[in-house]
Chain A
Amino acid sequence: MSAAASSPPLSRRAVLGTLLGFGFGFGLAADPARAAASAMRIASLGGAVTEILWRLGAGSRIAIVDTTSVYPAEVLREKPNAGYLRALSAEGLLSAGPDLVIAAEGAGPAAVLTQIREAGIPVVLVHEPPTVEGVLEKIRAVGHAAGLDAPAETLHRTVEAAFAALAGRRARIARPARALVVLSLANGRVMAGGRESTADGILALAGLRNAAEGLTGFKPITDEAIVAAAPETVVVMSNEGHALSPDTVFAPGTALSQTPAAAKRSLVAMDGLALLGFGPRTPETAEALMRAVYPDLTGE
């Protein structure tokens, strides 16, 4: 790997400071904005962050990603991978020779981020609330960090317009259907997305009512609660094209087979990151979900 050879100079002050043991402080780069504008090798940590950078045309500047960065797969396959977002390794990240780290909020461990900052590399953390404003704000934040304010503004407008169109269509839904987001179906046990989860956020955008309103976060839900929740549609995650089939989900004898969704065989499979990642694809995903559940709305 020739990453080391092509890595840009560190600020000598930063290195000296660290060597002398004063390096417990924070980003030592004198002007983060200037450092960011010239950042050519970005460590992009977090699925939505990576997706935004790619949409902004900075895919080639991504030097290293994390395991949650899975879209677009063909671009990311050959990038080095720093592992799980919350279990990063300082030396692993440094080995890619990044001059800027853009990470989803929650990246860590915190000590590793501190070590990266000690190395004179600015670390920009991006907030991730699962809302429309959250997505729009995230586009601006990532764009600003990468010195791509103008393209970010364009993408911001596109996504904002898509959200507005989505809201217009949503307003025409007379009665929101009840939907259950099933994260996994291991051994017949259903893990569902409750309130305050990203699943809840995407359902709201698609004009659906979360049937698992009694849960908070992603939790196993009991069979009785599934029957009581009476979802009219079930949303599952597909992974690289593989998804649960209606036959599996609504298998006879299971709690899910006792729901209105089973009667209509209403099952929607969507890509996990697109569904729960709250990135630039969120309006399209919400729209696809909406169209799948309310086919009559598509007639305009």
Chain B
Amino acid sequence: MSEARRRGVAVFAGLALLLAAILLLSLGSGAVRIPPGRVLDILLQGGASGAGDPTFARDALVVLNIRLPRTLLGLMVGAGLAVSGALMQGLFRNPLADPALVGVSAGAGLAAATVIVLGDRLLAAVNLPGSLPYTALPVAAFSGGLATTYGLYRVATRAGRISVATMLLAGLAAAALAGALTGLLVYASDDRQLRDLTFWSLGSLSGATWTKVMTSAPAILPVLVTVPFLGRGLNALVLGEAEAFHLGVPVERLKRVAILLVAVAVGAGVAAAGVIGFVGLVVPHGLRLLIGPEHRRLLPACALLGGALLVLADVVARLVVAPAELPIGIVTAIVGAPVFLWLLLGRSALADV
């Protein structure tokens, strides 16, 4: 116990340091070259000392209005995705589970595709001029994700009990249906909308503004704060639902709360940054190998590492092809998939012993 606890403390300290280093890296790097000293100056004093120097003013704007909101958004979205992945794997007692299983991504994706392809046509149909405000897409994605999860939840609930297996299968069906409907929209789209759809489905933190940070925070932060309290229940659930119930865990409530939290966190993440894969799968698995499956430690650790890794992926995404940028989903999958395979190789070697 004390050995595990010591190891846990060491890992948390390490994660905190890693996160701090990556945050500084993110604030200090980008297409605009700004010396690190000046970045610190801007962050600490809001750029007051550089008044009168025009390049300083521009740099302050880049750091405070472009990099800072982008970093914070990446931190929240990454933490939300990783924590949701860990929650899903605990809930479904399945290492393959990821947030897609509760239908959030599928529903959000379909809603986003609808807005991208049909948005302006729908407006024209009701005789409104112009185009949809760009808040329409995130709002639709968030609502679509929540609505799909709620639908699956209803399908999987019988006499007050949620069947996790039914939810998993229904989730696959919903994903297939959403995929087909999205395909229909792809067919109906023009060249430009098709490109929008493709880019959206690869995710990006580009266009992260303070407004986006402020609208995502009320959805994601409460989830991150609540999640550690589910740790004990999830630990008991590993033994099986009946066993957990006999240990005094309110199993049905735990499942409901976990599904709701995942839907909110992932829905908000997808709404703000599009679909970003692999963070929800790789981060919990990696950490389980490091600090074990104990959820009260695992969940907060996932938040730290998920946030740190997504911000790091974003730094890569905006540096490799600067002044253009790669969709972040490409970076997370290119790096995430081999790392995941490597983790699996290591694990099977252990299992053979």
Contact = CB atoms under 8 A, between A and B. Distances in A.
A94 B61 CA distance: 10
A115 B207 contact: yes
B219 interface: no
Nearest to A183: B191
A227 interface: no
A87 B200 CA distance: 9
B191 A110 contact: no
A21 B210 contact: yes
A219 B64 CA distance: 44
A19 B318 contact: no
A67 B179 CA distance: 29
Interface in A104-161: 106, 109-112, 114-115, 118-119
Interface in A185-207: 197
Interface string B194-214: 011001000010111111100
Interface stretch (A47-55, A76-84, A170-178, A278-286): A76-84
Contacts of B204: 87
Contacts of B327: 87
A: contact size bracket: 35 or more
B323 A82 contact: yes
A93 B31 CA distance: 8
A91 B47 contact: no
Contacts of A10: 54, 57-58, 61
Contact of B191 (A8, A64, A114, A217): A217
B36 interface: no
Contacts of A89: 31, 206, 318, 322-325
A93 B187 CA distance: 32
A211 B55 CA distance: 56
Contacts, number: 126
Contact of A94 (B31, B46, B192, B208): B31
Contacts of A84: 195, 199, 324
Nearest to B194: A218
Interface in A39-98: 64, 67, 80-84, 86-96
A91 B134 contact: no
Interface string B21-36: 0000000001111000
Contacts of A19: 46-47, 60-61, 64
Given A21-B210, A91-B318, A92-B322, A118 B61 contact: yes
A8 B66 contact: no
Contacts of A86: 192, 195-196, 199
Given A18-B61, A86-B199, A115-B66, A92 B325 contact: yes
Given A111-B207, A217-B190, A94 B58 contact: yes
A115 B54 contact: no
Contact of A83 (B187, B209, B212, B321): B321
Contact of A93 (B55, B192, B210, B323): B323
Nearest to A93: B323
B206 A64 contact: no
Nearest to A95: B31
Contacts of A111: 134, 207-209, 212
Given A87-B204, A89-B324, 14 more contacts: A4-B32, A15-B57, A18-B65, A19-B60, A82-B323, A87-B195, A89-B318, A89-B325, A91-B62, A94-B58, A94-B66, A106-B192, A109-B134, A115-B207
Which 3 A-B pairs have CB atoms at the shortest separation, nearest pair first? A83-B324, A92-B323, A111-B207
17 contacts: A8-B54, A12-B57, A15-B61, A18-B61, A18-B64, A21-B210, A81-B324, A87-B206, A89-B325, A92-B322, A92-B325, A96-B323, A106-B192, A109-B134, A111-B134, A111-B209, A118-B61
